[in-house]
Structure 1
Amino acid sequence: MKKRIHDIDLFRKYPHEVQQELFQNLINTAKGTEWGKKYGYADNLSVREFQERVPISSYEEMYPYIERVMKGEQNLIWPSKIEWFAKSSGTTNARSKFIPVSPESLEDCHYKGGKDMLSIYVNLYPDTKLFTGKGLSIGGSHRPSEINAKVNCGDVSAVIMQNLPIWAEAMRTPPLKVALMDKWEEKIEKMVELTVKENVTSLSGVPTWTYVLLKRILEVTGKSNMLEVWPNLELFTHGAVAFGPYRQLFRDIIPSDKMNYLEVYNASEGFFGIQDQAGTEDEMLLMLDYGVYYEFIPMDQVEEENPKTLTLDQVELGKNYALVISTNAGLWRYKIGDTIRFTNLSPYRIKISGRTKHFINAFGEEVIVENAETAITKACQATDAVISNFTAAPVYMESGKRGGHEWLIEFEKEPNNLQQFTQVLDETLREVNSDYDAKRQNDIALQEPMVHIAPQGTFMSWLRDKGKLGGQNKIPRLSNTREYLEEMMQYLEVRS
């Protein structure tokens, strides 16, 4: 672990050199593939030539290649044999994405990220007792592809678990056959039964589903908090959704100043970031030697047909960028849909600010997920509320009426004053977003937000009814259309 910290320090100190070397390795490795031949990788491309020749690709544009690989063709986008695909269905969209996972990306990106996470944690907390117990991880499931039974598809967590070495499997709980069950509610009950008997020292998973498990454990055991079940619990490694709105939930259920929280940026497409400082919450070190070459699209160019991308040495502090990656699994100049913001340039640290398709900009207010989560966290603090889940959408202008935003929020603990909650939510959005503030001046374009409280269990029930319960599935925090909000409001009417 100490040796790996030295390697991390190396790319902290020489980020551009590390990325340049990695870029050349990717190009040289893939020059004999169908994709590499099409774009002339054998010409020893410079980064500029690479950007000029290779188009930025969405999933839909890369899918014809991915589909062929799933059907069994090889050496199309990457030379190694690809037999695993991470099924990405992070939102409730009906169509799933299947992201290729090569042996190199599994070993040098996903596994490396997991090992680095432990190395960084031990470096931050040298007196840790983490390895005296087991790590509980909440994963998804996998199954043979419908296209080709010889390849497997599943949540990235399931792909990783299924391929773990024996020594790593011995350090985790529950057993693999339970961790990979596909019936979520049965899996929760089985996990409760088996894990309460273990000495669990760490948790990893999506905050939403992890909390569901912990809450169920307390119901079954009759304990008042998780330290009565696992007294040596000291770490929760979390990702997929921002932790800010969930922080109080976990503090209530794990009441210990010694409990540590570590944010990671682990997507189906790769492992990109790890929190490397204590107490920085959602600020993460961008990991530069994982077989991923990074480019960044300024947000004002995201919708352009051929946007100009920036390399790492060209980014600026505080600006939002859409993330573009080229990887050791054959994704080339692939726009993954996430937006990030740099909080530090030496070393490069980032915060996830949202999704390129998850925002509200019906009136030029450009509210992104990061704005919404900051505002809702402050509103909860001001009104002693604890949030469980939320979604928001625009209210379009009608004849003689102003527009606005409508929120549907499920609380674990409802605010003591909903009007104050709404006011703080609105005021914080005005503080963190000047465009929103301008539209709210004298209610010119936007009126005060409307907030509806959803009964507890609403979001989970809705996901269950759509067959999307568990794994990395989640409801979009923000949408520029009313599709999700109206569907959920109608769902509530039917249930009532």
Structure 2
Amino acid sequence: MMSIKSALAKPFAKIIYNKVQKWANNPVKTQEMVFQDLIAKATSTAFGRDHDFISINSHADFVKRVPIRDYEALKFYVDRVVAGESDVLWKGKPLYFAKTSGTTSGAKYIPLTKESMPNHVEAARNAILMYIHETGKTKFVDGKMIFLQGSPELKEQNGVKLGRLSGIVAHYVPKYLQKNRLPSWETNCIDDWETKVDVIVDETLHENMTIISGIPSWVQMYFEKLQQKTGKQIGDIFKNFNLFIFGGVNYEPYRAKFENLIGRKVDSIELYPASEGFFAYQDKQHEKGMLLLLNSGIFYEFIKADEFFNENPKRLTIKDVEIGVNYVMIISTNAGLWGYNIGDTIQFTSTKPYRVIVSGRIKHFISAFGEHVIGKEVEQAMQEATAGTDVRVSEFTVAPEITPETGLPYHEWFVEFENEPEDLSALAKKIDESLQKQNTYYFDLIEGKVLQPLKITKVKKGGFQAYMKSQGKLGGQNKIPRLSNDRKIVQGFQD
């Protein structure tokens, strides 16, 4: 028999779907309204006065007055907010600071305001409602759901609560979902990630889990521990588990491994959340990319990635973008981030409506020889090379080997295999061919004998987890960069 909750889900999903269509079908007008609203509300803030917001009427005015900044460059203002000052980047004080492990300046404090907080909560909810509307599936709302996340314990700093984004969002789980939600509050508060996952295994083992959610690499760790404990596949432990929700990294490199662990295919929904904003979610099961959220208090600008480090790169708005181009995404938000570079690169897969994929990080690329290789390309190469084989990869990262002892320089792929190939060099050749096909610069360097084809170095099982642990970054929202322009990360695998 259908429960009340599952019966109400469909009409509610239809209402939300219609609302989303309204703004998705009017993207330019929607973004213009968001832009005008943001400027109007922040005119009397310290930042608004310093940047003459009162005379900003257009995007061109905004570009003249507000430079692109990353966290380091905005830190002067953020520090004032953290110190307890009001009306600095946004009116009043923020409700929270999402603390993220940071850059050269250590921890970053990203403000979340009364206006921005609901967008994080609604976007996660709407992603599920869009899935219900498309598929008609509602049974899962009666089961238990788990989100592998950071601790919900919050500290306080000058009257503003402080914590991890996933921990802050845990306080906003609607009442009707509270009793469906696992792990327990106490378990979520455990700091040590490995201990926490062990307790989560015990807590969930005999429950009717229908939704499992989290960053793929950490969900994989949870699945493996479940399997070790029971000797069963996840699909046999959780008979009604049919929806995996993830974000933070591309799922494709993990998909084969997951299907093997689960023992069957399950539907998945990709999310694109960050402390700075909830940017996109997958709105269709069979369309590539995630719907860019244009009506959520965020105004977007885009700079072509290969022009980003030029003196004065052109800042485009939604109406100027093209499919398949690599852009650095710049945001201005109702949490008081202005012309802010979050460091991600995206590509549009569709402009009707606007859908994106995350292609990498502007800092995470390899161009030691001018090849401009990005995260999306190495992931696609790995996926193509292992498709249709029983090779399964747990984790990998790529670094340049600039001064090898013999021969030409090359890209070195550090790979932890779940299931190894019989012929490592044949796999390397397939990956290399895929990369050459995707990236003409790389092709030219191989062809011109500047580089030799890539080489694979095996990482022992558990090597990536051990590395993350050694860096104090095991669990939570932490993830291994797919590639880097130096060998700092991979030195951890060579000791």
- Work out whether the TM-score is over 0.5: yes
Deviation at 1:185, TM superposition (A): 1.4
Q: Match of 1:275, as an amino acid?
A: Q
Q: What letter matches 1:201 in structure 2?
A: T
**Pairing 1:397-476 to 2, within 5 Å after superposition:** 397=403, 401-441=407-447, 444-476=449-481
1:155 aligned onto 2:164: yes
2:242 to 224, 234, 237: 234
| Comparing 184-193 and 163-172, the one that deviates more | 163-172
3-state DSSP class of the match of 2:291? strand
1:138 aligns with 2:145: no
Q: Tell me whether 1:59 sits opposite 2:71 in the alignment.
A: yes
1:104 partner SS: coil
Aligned residue pairs total 483
5 Å-filtered alignment, 1:304-453, equals 304-381=310-387, 383-397=389-403, 401-441=407-447, 444-453=449-458
* SS class of match (2:441): helix
Question: Is contact 2:153-2:189 (8 Å) kept?
Answer: no
Match of 2:3 in 1: none
Question: 1:493 aligns to what?
Answer: none
TM-score (norm 1): 0.93
2-side partners of 1:214 and 1:94: how far apart?
A: 35
Shift of 1:124: 1.6
User: 1:285-319, CA deviations, whole angstroms, 9 ceiling, x for partnerless residues?
Assistant: 11111111000001122112432210000011111
2:56–2:62 CA contact under 8 A, matched in 1: no
Question: 1-side partners of 2:267 and 2:102: how far apart?
Answer: 26
Q: Tell me, in whole angstroms, the C-alpha distance in 2 between the residues paired with 1:112 and 1:261.
A: 18
Matched, 1:35 2:40: no
Deviation at 1:72, TM superposition (A): 1.4
Structure 2 distance, partners of 1:255, 1:94, is: 44
Q: In 2, distance between residues paired with 1:74 and 1:181?
A: 33
Q: Deviations over 1:189-236 (max 9, x none)?
A: 11111112321110111000011011111222x142112221111100
Partner of residue 24, structure 2 = 12
Q: For 1:133 and 1:151, locate their aligned partners in 2 and report how far apart those are by CA, in whole Å.
A: 35
Match of 2:112 among 72, 89, 101: 101
Question: Which residue is 2:5 aligned to?
Answer: none
SS of match in other structure, 2:414: strand
With 331-340 and 95-104 compared, the bigger mean Cα shift is at 95-104
Q: Which of these residues, 282, 293, 303, is aligned with residue 275 of structure 1?
A: 282
What is the CA–CA distance in structure 2 between the aligned matches of 1:253 and 1:80, rounded to whole Å?
A: 48
1:174 corresponds to which of 170, 180, 183: 183
Q: Does 1:113 align with 2:104?
A: no
Q: Deviations over 1:251-276 (max 9, x none)?
A: 1122234x201111111211111111
Corresponding residue number in structure 1 for 2:97: 85
Gaps of 5+ in 1: 491-496
Read off the aligned partner of 2:108 and give its amino acid letter: K
Structure 1 residues 166-188: Cα deviation after superposition (integer angstroms, max 9, x where no partner): 33433311122322322111111
The SS at the match of 1:10 is: helix
Does residue 260 of structure 1 match 2:267?
yes
Q: Name the structure 1 match of 2:215.
A: 206
Contact kept, 8 Å, 2:82 with 2:158, in 1: the verdict is no
Structure 2: which 5+ residue stretches go unaligned? 1-12
Per the TM alignment, residue 99 of structure 1 is displaced from its structure 2 partner at its CA by 1.3
The alpha-carbon deviation at position 69 of structure 1 amounts to 1.3
Matched residue type, 2:277: G
In the aligned structure 2, how far is the partner of 1:331 from the partner of 1:317? Answer: 26
Indicate yes or no: 2:486 matched with 1:481. yes
Could you say which residue in structure 1 is the equivalent of 2:139? Answer: 129
Partner SS state of residue 115, structure 2: helix
Secondary structure, in 3 states, of the residue corresponding to 2:271? strand
Instruction: Report the secondary structure of 1:440's partner residue.
Output: helix
Distance in 2 between residues matched to 1:42 and 1:423, nearest whole Å: 58
Contact 1:143 1:152 in 2 (8 A): no
Range that drifts further, 37-46 or 120-129: 37-46
TM-score, structure 2 length as denominator?
0.93
- Give the Å deviation of 1:337: 0.4
Structure 1, residues 88-109: CA drift from partner, whole Å, max 9, x if none?
3389x783322111122111x2
Confirm or deny: 8 A CA contact 2:121 2:172 kept in the other structure: no
Asked if the contact 1:422/1:449 (under 8 Å) is kept, the reply is yes
CA offset at residue 150 of structure 1?
Answer: 4.0
> Matched residues, percent identical?
37
> Does the CA contact (< 8 Å) of 1:161 and 1:176 recur in 2?
no
- Relative to 1, partners in 2 of residues 1:234 and 1:287: Cα closer, same or farther, differing over 3 Å? same
Q: Residue 19 of structure 2: SS of its match in structure 1?
A: helix
- Of 237, 243, 253, the residue aligned with 1:245 is 253
Q: Distance in 2 between matches of 1:207 and 1:450?
A: 26
CA 1:343–1:248: 2 relative to 1, 3 Å: same
- Structure 1 residues 35 and 154: CA distance shift in structure 2, 3 A: same
Partner residue in 2 for 1:303? 309
Q: Name the aligned partner's letter for residue 484 of structure 1.
A: I
Distance in 2, Cα, partners of 1:170 & 1:103? 26
Q: In the alignment, is residue 194 of structure 1 matched against residue 203 of structure 2? A: yes
Equivalent AA in structure 2 for residue 247 of structure 1? R
Distance in structure 2 (CA, Å) of the matches to 1:94 and 1:245: 32
Shift of 1:397: 4.8
1:28–1:44 CA contact under 8 A, matched in 2: no
- Structure 2 distance, partners of 1:33, 1:94, is 25
Amino acid at match of 2:263: P
CA–CA distance in structure 2, aligned partners of residues 287 and 178 of structure 1: 32
Residue 59 of structure 2 corresponds to residue 50 of structure 1: no
Distance change >3 Å, CA 56–CA 299, structure 1 → 2: same
Deviation by residue 1:12-36 (Cα, 9 ceiling, x = unmatched): 2100001100111111111111111
Equivalent in the alignment of 2:10: none
Q: For the residues of structure 2 that align with 1:58 and 1:249, how far apart are their CA atoms?
A: 36
Which letter maps to 1:200? Answer: M
Give how far 1:142 is off: 5.4
Q: CA deviation at 1:474?
A: 1.5
RMSD in angstroms over aligned alpha carbons?
Answer: 1.9
Question: 2:38 touches 2:334 (CA, 8 Å); kept in 1?
Answer: yes
* 8 Å CA contact 1:90, 1:474 repeated in 2: no
